[in-house]
């Protein structure tokens, strides 16, 4: 992910300067496999998350972004993983699991979209992945980015952005049953929400 590191080196300082990006809890980022789970209120969220976390992240993103061949190649080189949302995309799950087995970190926005009510439901995919692989969930709250870039806007606005990284939630490998994934999703969602208002 050389291109990812280059992009982060170029954009990271710019994001920190222009949006006064504050990062709290950077010491909580594990060195091994990790599933970064964050709220999703702005189109700018992946950029701020990438700038805040020192290690490269494989972002799960809607497969429509790959419909443009140039954009698709760029996303591939940045380590992106396409997913067909709400369809139980086994190819995306396998790619995520493979990245975790290599000791990489992946980033998932369980709300899936920035559209709709602020209290959108959290999908259980991150919890299923954690239970299947035994990788810890890393809760991250992105605060203030909703004021930067919303759907329908083209020019980012100035706002102060804060990233709060919580302690990892350790997960034992287990059968990803509906009750188990629901409980684990609730735990990580509650952790993110608590950090959003702290």
Tell me the pLDDT tens digit for each residue of 158-190: 889 999 999 999 999 999 999 999 999 999 999
Q: pLDDT for 2-31, tens place per residue?
A: 889 999 999 999 999 999 999 999 999 999
Whole-number pLDDT of residue 33: 97
Mean pLDDT of 137-149: 93
Domains of the chain: 2-196 (3.40.1130.10)
Work out the average pLDDT over 91-95.
Answer: 86
DSSP 83: E
pLDDT given at position 68:
85
pTM to 2 decimal places: 0.91
Query: Pick the residue with more confidence: 71 or 189?
Result: 189
What value does the mean pLDDT of the chain take? 90
What's the burial of 12, exposed, middle or buried (CB within 10 Å: 0-12/13-18/19+)? middle
- Identify which has the larger pLDDT, 82 or 133: 133
Per the CB < 8 A criterion, the answer to whether 75 and 1 are in contact is: no
With b meaning 16 or more CB within 10 Å and e meaning fewer, what string describes 69-103? eeeeeebeebbbbbbebeeebeebbebbbebbeee
Residue 152 pLDDT > 80, yes or no? no
* The two structure tokens encoding residue 7: 């992009």
């Amino acid at each position: 992910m050389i291109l990812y590191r280059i992009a982060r080196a170029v954009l990271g300082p710019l994001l920190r300067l222009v949006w006064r990006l504050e990062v709290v809890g950077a010491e909580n980022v594990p060195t091994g496999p990790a599933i970064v789970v964050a709220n999703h209120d702005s189109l700018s969220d992946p950029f701020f998350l990438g700038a805040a976390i020192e290690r490269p992240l494989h972002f799960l993103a809607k497969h429509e972004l790959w419909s443009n061949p140039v954009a698709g190649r760029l996303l591939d080189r940045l380590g992106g993983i396409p997913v067909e949302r709400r369809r139980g995309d086994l190819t995306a799950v396998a790619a995520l699991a493979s990245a975790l087995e290599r000791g990489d970190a992946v980033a998932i926005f369980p709300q899936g979209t920035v559209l709709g009510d602020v209290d959108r439901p959290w999908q259980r995919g991150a919890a299923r992945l954690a239970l299947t692989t035994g990788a810890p969930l890393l809760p991250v709250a992105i605060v203030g980015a909703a004021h930067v870039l919303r759907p329908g806007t083209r020019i980012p606005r100035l706002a102060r952005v804060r990233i709060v990284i919580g302690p990892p939630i350790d997960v034992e490998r287990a059968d990803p049953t509906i009750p188990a994934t629901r409980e684990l999703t609730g735990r990580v969602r509650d952790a993110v929400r608590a950090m959003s208002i702290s």
